[in-house]
């Protein structure tokens, strides 16, 4: 019953539903000794906001400064609910990272009432959830981390979750916003979904340590994190989606079972070279057997786009362009991460990348 009420609240994507979730409310005070420590990125700054490379970009940078001031005024007046969904995507999560930070520079990025992430995007989601406060950690992770592999990269992402970030996540959760991440399934484990905000709001070291464990498991398909590991009911098992067995389905998005799109804004960032769901061929043969099956929470971007159309919501998506002169040289390539981050950051600060229609579907 408690879980049913929680996920009903998530489906509404409304901040006002926080009071209905009192059974998920945490202790009011955040623990002061959370088990996270600052990463050793060195004393010298490793990133300064990129100088404009073109006249067009220069114009956007000047306009952005004024727009950020306008946003400060508009935030005080409130606005429509906004949802951000980050797909899985291996090293291409750097695309989402750069796009989000560049978008923040425009002053037009909303404060999201719901953030979902699948796979390695879980490493970005906590920072995206807290808005401007999360931009510096995202930038440091992509440009300053001294990682030689995914395991170290995940460790450094966890280290950036300091008391300020955890406190901000907890406050937003108590206000009704939701931060959900999915650990994709494998032969070694079932798919699980976790309410990171609930764990942050719990305020105890065990819950904070579990956040670290979940985020580290996002890069390791062999790592087991059973839902019963949380004493706060913050995790649950979900069904595998058979459509991902097909070639060309694209990266998975997390969308809670039955979650309504609503009348707000939905932003999908697909961390793939292509958005395969755009192709006529895929749309012709796509038969979403599990699209509306109860318990299936990981879905292709096309499913979310169609749900948005049906609800007459404003849905925007972005995906890595296929003609970039960037190529990873190995499974974990820091130079590629930095290069893709910088490219996406420039696009984000210029307000580019976002699209509102798929070629074979009419716009909402």
Give the tens place of pLDDT for each residue, 234-254: 999 988 887 776 656 678 899
Show the tokens assigned to 194: 């976790």
Contacts of 94 (CB under 8 A, 6+ apart): 142, 336, 337, 338, 340, 341, 344
Contacts of 117 (CB under 8 A, 6+ apart): 85, 86, 124, 125, 128, 180, 181, 182, 254
With a cut of 60, say whether residue 193 has pLDDT above it. yes
Q: What's the Cα-to-Cα distance from 139 to each of 149, 150, 319, rounded to whole Å?
A: 18, 17, 19
DSSP 207-233: HHHHHHHHHHHTT-TT----GGG-TTS
Please check whether residue 56 lies inside any domain of the structure.
no
Please check whether residue 25 lies inside any domain of the structure.
no
Give the tens place of pLDDT for each residue, 295-309: 778 888 877 777 777
Range of the domain at 89: 82-322+340-364
Highest mean pLDDT out of 72-81, 218-227, 298-307: 218-227
Please check whether residue 213 lies inside any domain of the structure.
yes
- Mean pLDDT for 334-353 is 92
Please check whether residue 205 lies inside any domain of the structure.
yes
Show the tokens assigned to 20: 């209905």
Please check whether residue 11 lies inside any domain of the structure.
no
Four-point Cα dihedral 110, 361, 259, 295, nearest 10: -130
Please check whether residue 345 lies inside any domain of the structure.
yes
Of 20, 80, 91, the residue nearest 320 (C-alpha): 91
Q: Are 162 and 32 in contact (CB under 8 A)?
A: no
Please check whether residue 70 lies inside any domain of the structure.
no
Of 143, 123, 116, 158, the residue nearest 266 (C-alpha): 116
Show the tokens assigned to 254: 């997390």
**In this structure, are strands 265-270 and 253-254 parallel, antiparallel, or unpaired?**
unpaired
Overall number of domains in the chain = 1
Give the separation between CA 85 and CA 340, rounded to whole angstroms. 19
Secondary structure element (H or E) that encloses residue 310, with its range: helix 301-310
User: What is the structure's pLDDT at 288?
Assistant: 55
Please check whether residue 359 lies inside any domain of the structure.
yes
Give the tens place of pLDDT for each residue, 170-189: 999 999 999 999 998 888 89
Give the separation between CA 17 and CA 196, rounded to whole angstroms. 17
With a cut of 60, say whether residue 281 has pLDDT above it. no
User: What is the structure's pLDDT at 282?
Assistant: 56
Name the pLDDT band for 21 (thresholds 50, 70, 90). Answer: very low
User: What is the structure's pLDDT at 243?
Assistant: 73
Name the pLDDT band for 156 (thresholds 50, 70, 90). Answer: very high
């Amino acid at each position: 019953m408690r879980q049913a009420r929680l996920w009903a609240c998530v489906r509404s994507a409304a901040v006002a539903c926080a009071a209905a979730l009192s059974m998920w409310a945490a202790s009011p005070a955040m623990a002061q000794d959370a088990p996270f420590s600052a990463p050793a990125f060195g004393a010298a700054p490793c990133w300064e906001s990129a100088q404009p490379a073109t006249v067009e970009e220069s114009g956007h940078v000047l306009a952005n400064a004024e727009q950020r001031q306008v946003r400060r005024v508009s935030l005080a007046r409130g606005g429509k609910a906004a949802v951000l969904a980050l797909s899985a995507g291996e090293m291409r999560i750097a695309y989402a990272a750069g796009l989000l930070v560049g978008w923040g520079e425009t002053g037009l990025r909303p404060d999201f009432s719901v953030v979902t992430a699948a796979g390695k995007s879980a490493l970005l989601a906590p920072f995206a959830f807290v808005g401007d406060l999360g931009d510096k950690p995202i930038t440091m992770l992509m440009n300053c981390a001294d990682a030689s592999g995914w395991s170290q990269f995940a460790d450094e992402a966890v280290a950036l979750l300091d008391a300020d970030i955890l406190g901000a996540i907890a406050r937003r959760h108590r206000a009704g916003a939701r931060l959900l991440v999915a650990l994709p399934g494998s032969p070694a484990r079932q798919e699980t979904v976790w309410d990171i905000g609930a764990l942050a709001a719990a305020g105890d070291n065990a819950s904070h340590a579990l956040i670290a464990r979940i985020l580290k498991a996002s890069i390791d398909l062999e790592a087991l994190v059973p839902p019963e590991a949380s004493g706060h009911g913050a995790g649950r098992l979900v069904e595998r989606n058979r459509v991902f067995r097909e070639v060309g389905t694209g990266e998975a998005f997390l969308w809670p079972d039955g979650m309504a799109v609503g009348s707000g804004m939905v932003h999908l960032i697909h961390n793939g070279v292509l958005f395969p769901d755009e192709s006529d061929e895929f749309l012709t043969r796509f038969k979403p057997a599990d699209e509306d099956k109860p318990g299936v929470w990981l879905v292709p971007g096309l499913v979310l786009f169609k749900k948005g159309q049906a609800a007459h919501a404003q849905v925007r998506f972005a995906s890595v362009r296929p003609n970039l002169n960037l190529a990873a040289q190995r499974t974990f390539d820091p130079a590629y991460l930095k290069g893709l981050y910088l490219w996406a950051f420039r696009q984000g600060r210029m307000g580019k990348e976002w699209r509102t229609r798929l070629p074979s579907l009419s716009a909402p």
